[in-house]
Structure 1
């Protein structure tokens, strides 16, 4: 278990530099691992690697390094070539914004500080993937068959997957992204006039979450559908805004 992500920076960077050599452009740690919200043994440690060549020939070389760090709590790294990175900003703006909001450069270039992320690109990815998330929630709810533990896991997993989109929704509406997850949820609840909603209940693991998991799933689905509706309406408005 890694108690402090700062303790692994030197060895982690050294290991990937040994694998990629001059092909390695940048090593970035992002997410809760670079914030005060990191919880040892629970929070993921996410890594982004930018390389000149992301062919499987080079990816294969880092299998042993990946195994070593994965066993210690470091997630499988997101590996991109510079060309892929620079030509996919319009396809994955939500993902790039998610990294950009909380990151630390461990080695090489800071490629996130100058990213120009367009609101319309954010809106398009939000629409596409929030609709998919809504479908997934319904499918997995049906498969769970009212098993409370399974539904509770579904609630937490779905809410966690919403966080990058929460950040995008705030940016689309000209609002700043808070660093703390609890503040992020509060900002989204305020943006859509939700009050203290099921989002806060799930994040703070409100007492009775297991017992009332069916009702919580219904309420979460309603919120996702509400947000999707706002995203759809934004197609017809300039400048882009989800809330009138």
Structure 2
């Protein structure tokens, strides 16, 4: 399906338009990245009618200055993308693996703290806990994919988090059935039907799995 670029972007200001994701050829189910000469309120508002959930809008300067800050996102882009319009800016970038590992460590450690808070406040803020489960699902999927990617010395990249968990199990020599079951339970919304005791057990098991993931990341050379 073609995207009518003129409807949503000023071509004179647009340097590059890229779609990325599991199937970047399916533009409307992928994330769009628009790199512009300059970003202002008018250029942002023009994209409001795009039928995309995820649209990243950046100036070219901001794009290149963000590589060392968001290596996870840039590696995800580089492994499966399509140039819809303009320059192939992703072909010009190199990712520092130290920054990659450091961001993974930060993300895993921060998820552990968020989950610790959820357990601490469990019972008094059930809405908060439910929101944590919804938010943490996609974040954990991405982290598992990237930890597996890094653990295999960047030999392959797999968008399917179940395959990534299997590969991580092979590399670590430790089964990750619990994490697989937990992520599946969240994805199928089974967690919401659990009793209070089951939910607390669920959170405890998830916390242990995140600690294991942190251990994997810590074992990689910085």
Query: TM-score, with normalisation over the residues of structure 1?
Result: 0.72
* Residue aligning to 1:164: 142
Alpha-carbon shift at residue 113 of structure 1 (Å): 3.5
When structure 1 is superposed on structure 2, of 177-186 and 204-213 the one drifting more is 204-213
Structure 2: which 5+ residue stretches go unaligned? none
The 3 A distance-change label for structure 1 pair 16 and 51 is same
* Residue aligning to 1:14: 6
Structure 2 residue 28 is matched with structure 1 residue 48: no
**Structure 2 matches for 1:7-156, cutoff 5 A?**
7=1, 9-11=2-4, 13-17=5-9, 20-32=10-22, 34=24, 45-54=30-39, 58-66=40-48, 68-69=49-50, 72=51, 74-145=52-123, 151=129, 154-156=132-134
* Residue aligning to 1:186: 166
Alpha-carbon shift at residue 48 of structure 1 (Å): 1.1
In structure 2, which of residues 206, 213, 217 is the aligned counterpart of residue 227 of structure 1? 213
CA distance in 1, matches of 2:101, 2:204: 25
CA distance in 2, matches of 1:49, 1:61: 10
The 3 A distance-change label for structure 1 pair 192 and 223 is farther
What whole-Å deviation, never above 9, does each CA across 1:157-198 have from its counterpart, x for those lacking one? Answer: 313112333333233221411233332232233333442423
State the Cα RMSD in Å.
3.1
* Count of matched residue positions in the alignment of Structure 1 and Structure 2: 214
* Residue aligning to 1:201: 181
Contact between 2:8 and 2:46, CA under 8 Å: does it hold in 1? no
Alpha-carbon shift at residue 24 of structure 1 (Å): 0.7
CA distance in 2, matches of 1:207, 1:92: 30
Structure 1: which 5+ residue stretches go unaligned? 1-6
Contact between 2:144 and 2:161, CA under 8 Å: does it hold in 1? no
The 3 A distance-change label for structure 1 pair 216 and 48 is same
**What is the SS of the residue equivalent to 1:106?**
strand
**What is the SS of the residue equivalent to 1:49?**
strand
CA distance in 2, matches of 1:190, 1:183: 11
Contact between 1:151 and 1:217, CA under 8 Å: does it hold in 2? no
**What is the SS of the residue equivalent to 2:15?**
strand
When structure 1 is superposed on structure 2, of 88-97 and 101-110 the one drifting more is 101-110
The 3 A distance-change label for structure 1 pair 231 and 152 is same
**What is the SS of the residue equivalent to 1:80?**
strand
Query: TM-score, with normalisation over the residues of structure 2?
Result: 0.78
